[in-house]
Each structure stands twice: as structure tokens, then as C-alpha cells.
Amino acid sequence: MKRILFLSLIFSFSHSLLLSAQRAESHNAEIGRNLELFDDIYRQLDLYYVDTLSADTTIRWAIKSMLSHVDPFTQYYPEDDDELRQMATGKYAGIGSIIRYNTKEERAMIIEPYEGTPSQLAGLKAGDVILTIDGVDVRKKPTSEVSNMLRGEPGTSLEVSVRRMGEEKPLNFRLTRKTIQMPAVTYYGMTGEGLGYIYLASFSQGSTQEMRHALADLKARGMRRLVLDLRDNPGGAIDEAVNIVNLFVEKGQKVVYTRGKLASSNREYFTTSDPLDMETPIVVLVNSSSASAAEILSGSLQDMDRAVVMGTRTYGKGLVQAIHEVGDRGNLKLTISRYYIPSGRCIQAYDYRHLTADGRVGTVPDSLTRVFYTRGGREVRDGGGIKPDIEAQPDSLASVVYDAVESDDMLAFVTQYVQQHKTIAGPADYQFGDDEYAQFVQFMVDRQFEPNRRTGEVLKVLRDAAKLEGCYERAEQAFEQLEQALKGDVKSELERHRDDIRPYLEDEIVCRYYYQRGRAQHLLKSDKVYDRAVKLLEDEERYKGILKSPKK
């Protein structure tokens, strides 16, 4: 019987190996057939198509289309594209300015020169409309193309010509490109008695050192409670996230592990040094744009019962990418594994391999998520990102507020305001007065600002449907009355939403004088979610109660 069993096991094992080899052979044959098909199609396209095609352009279109159907994180970067380096290191070579397209000017404009960069030191200002770069007119060029023209090798020079409000003639600036290091910690400081605040914007190279410096400085200044803000943080390197977790938890703790198709993709990440602070109560702020490494940090601190997470559910990116060289020095960033945080859960929310009936990416419904447990026994779930311990939604805004804030008209007003005011109060104290707001409203009216009427768009669809069904004529009067009722007076709308628009105006103005650090500091004045975090930290009993293990 033992001999028969042994032979049976050998047969089963051999049969399994044979099936595996057959599947691999079939898979390789499928790849070969499709590559031959692609090669045949392109060669016929090149031979017979009415116009001559660029192989570089056409093949890149094909690559981009193919990768877009895998997941949004798998991307190809040609040799001359430095976006990948910037994502990994937080560095790029250029002049150090944020630009955006001005629709009325049909040109890119500078909306924020970073402090201490070539653009700021040379005298470029927010609101400057870019006319030429090295003599090349940039009218109607997309911001991506203008951005590429501004970037280049460190030490190289360029000349930028701009039109500035209030100046009759164009202004010319000679700048020398340099390596720009984007700060990971945009702002930190003591915002109350014993209360520290850190805004961590990314997990790029060196972010752990910046966090360590900020944390040590705040502790030296008497910090007893901390708000760690990860809102709108898109993530970055796993190593940086693990090392930042290590600042708050003991050595030797498993923070995250990865699992992929290949054994080489499987890794475990532990804390490797003594922590800097294991006692200070922490509230971590997150929102739907907190992703990747930001979810590793917030989720790990939640799983270890080291911090209370507050805000809205995070993005839900539980995938890990790696960089592979391809072709002639190009790079492919591709998804190689999923990651799992200390409780053992993977928080991936989107299933990119199975689309819904209407072609959208499906998400894991709450009913299908599984229960996991924090170190102390609190329930947490996988799928769908990090669910905060305390839900805290920001106030919803009327569409007119969004349209006004995003308009070129508001930026033009701020530019004019800055020209009329050499200095303003500090970020924590600055206020935009009622008289000044009245001037802003009149400025917007004079510029003929018109918000995007969503109700008007819906009404047009309804009107077209009525015409299609042949009932429009008898309902025409009702449509006209509804259209008049939906039309708003811009001046009265801007005045009605004064309390919603004013903080954004103040933030933009403060940024012109005090740059990113000033904006981050000033934003806290009107941040209701931050206020809730402060109140929680002040209530020690409630804070501990949230982290307390359930009775068994």
C-alpha cells in the first residue's frame, strides 16, 4: 500500500508538472501569435497608409494604449522624460515654478514660483503670462510642452519673456536652471499650547530626514500632542513610509509586506532603529487623495493602535510598482505586487482586470470586505482604502465657489491686489476685509466672470429631448420660465457665498507673499477638520477610548 501510495504521489506530481509546462507553452504561444499579428499590422500600415507615419510616435501610441488597459500606475517613460526621476526623488532640473494655462490669454502663466528657486530669485511673479522661451512664441502651446521647454540640464541658461499686469512692455529674464528639490514637509510648527502640526506632502527621497527634523524640533519646543496631515499626499517610496512609521513605533515591527507573481517581488519591511517618539498622542488626517505610501503610514499607525485616523476614506492603492529598464535606456514603471499592512489587510479598492458593464473600474463593495484586527483587537477592514476611525467630511461647496476659485479672473484680481499692497500681515493673522471683498466682487463683474451653469447644461439636454419627442412646442413657455428662474445674478451669488470664497482668496494672497509654507499655515485658520482633530487631542479620555481594545 505504501508503494502504491508513493507511486501515486509521483504520478500526481509528474502530472502536475506536465500540466504546468503545457500551460506555460500555451501561454508563450499565445504571446508569440499576438506579437506577430501586431508586427504584421504595423508593417502593412507603414507600407500602404496614405501618409508616412513616424514609428516612434505610432508605437508610443500603441504602448500607451496597451498600458492604459492594465492599470493607471503602469507607465512607459522614454529616455528624455524626467517625470519618473522627479516622482522618485522629488527633484527635477528647471526654474522652480508652477504654471497653468490661461484661457483668455491663450498662454501658460506662472501661478506660483517656489521660494529660493531661480524663478523667484530672478524676479518672476505669480500672474506673469509667458510670451516666449528662448525666442520661441508659446501662444496656444499646452502647459506640458511649455513645462518641458522650461526644464533642462542643471547649469544651462534660458531667457523667458513675460507680460506682467501694469507693465506696458514685456519683461525679459535670464535664468539658469538648477536642480529643484521639492520639500516633503511643506510646513510644520506649533499651532497651539503644546500642539504640533506637520504637513507631509510626499514620500520622496529624504522625506524621513525632513520628518525627523520637524518632529525633533517640535518636541524641543514643548510639543505634547501632534496632528500629522497626510491629506492630498499621493504617496511615494515604501522605504520612506516604513522609516517614518519607525519614528513612532518600536524597533523590530513588521510594517508592510508585499506579494507578487515572482518570488523576487515578495518582501517584508521592518522597523530597524529606535523610535523618536512613542508617547505623543497623534491624529492623522487623511482624505480621498491620500494614497499609496500615505496609506501605508496611516494604516500602519492605525493597525498598531498608535494614532487615531480622521478624515475621509483614502484612495485605496494597495499596489506596488518597480522600475525596469526597457529598450534603449527607456524605463517601464509596472505593478509587480500587492502590499499588506500590519493587520494583514490589503487596502486595494479598484479591480482593474474586471470592468463594470459600462466600462468603468469596479470597486470592492463594503459587503465583500473582510474583517481584520488591530494589535489591540479593534476591527478594521480590507479593500476600499483606509477607513478613518473618525469620519470628518469637509464642507461641500456650491459650484459657483469652485468656478470662481479656479478662474483666471480671481488670479488676475490677486495679482492686482499684490501690486497695490507691498506687505500684508503674517500667515496666521492675515484677513481679507469686507470692503476688499466688495472690490473683488466688482472686479469679477467687470471681467464678466460667468460660472459654469450645470443646471443650464441639464436644461439643454431636457430641451433637446422634448424636441426629439415632439412635445417641446406645448412646453416651450415652461422651459423659458425655468431658464429665467435658473439664471443667477453673478454679483449676488458671489456676495451670498462670501464666507466660502474668502478663505480661498486669502490663501492665494498669502501664498504670493509667504509661498507654500505660508499657505499651509494660513489654511489651518478655516480648516474645520483640523479643528476637530485639535478638539479630540484636547479630550484625552475620548482619544484613549477610541484606541481602547474592545472587551472580549
In the three-class reduction of DSSP (H, G, I as helix; E, B as strand; rest coil), residue 157 is classed as strand
303 part of the active site: yes
What contacts 531, CB < 8 A, 6 or more positions away?
A: none
Strands 308-311 and 282-286: parallel
Asked if 510 and 518 count as a contact pair (C-beta separation under 8 A), the reply is yes
Q: What is the per-residue DSSP string for 421-436? A: -S----TTT----HHH
317 part of the active site: yes
Residues forming a β-bridge with 82? none
Of 119, 202, 204, 292, catalytic: 292
- Name the H helices within 75-206: 83-89, 118-122, 143-150
User: How far lies 78's CA from each of 38, 73, 236, in Å?
Assistant: 21, 16, 20
Of 141, 317, 333, 387, catalytic: 317
- 38-67 burial string, b = 16+ CB within 10 Å, else e? eeeeeeeeeeeeeeeeeeeeeeeeebeeeb
User: How far lies 352's CA from each of 69, 235, 383, in Å?
Assistant: 8, 20, 13
Asked if 153 and 93 count as a contact pair (C-beta separation under 8 A), the reply is yes
Helix (H) or strand (E) holding 313: none
Instruction: Look at residues 209, 155, 204 and name the one whose alpha carbon lies nearest to residue 182.
Output: 204
Of 71, 128, 303, 409, catalytic: 303
Asked if 528 and 534 count as a contact pair (C-beta separation under 8 A), the reply is no
Sign of CA dihedral 166, 168, 170, 172: negative
The position carrying cell 494604449 is 65
Phi, psi values for residue 335, rounded to 5°:
-75, 125
| Torsion on CA atoms 122, 126, 131, 132, rounded to nearest 10 | 40
What is Dmax (Cα atoms) for the chain?
Answer: 101
300 part of the active site: no
Which residues are designated catalytic? 292, 303, 317
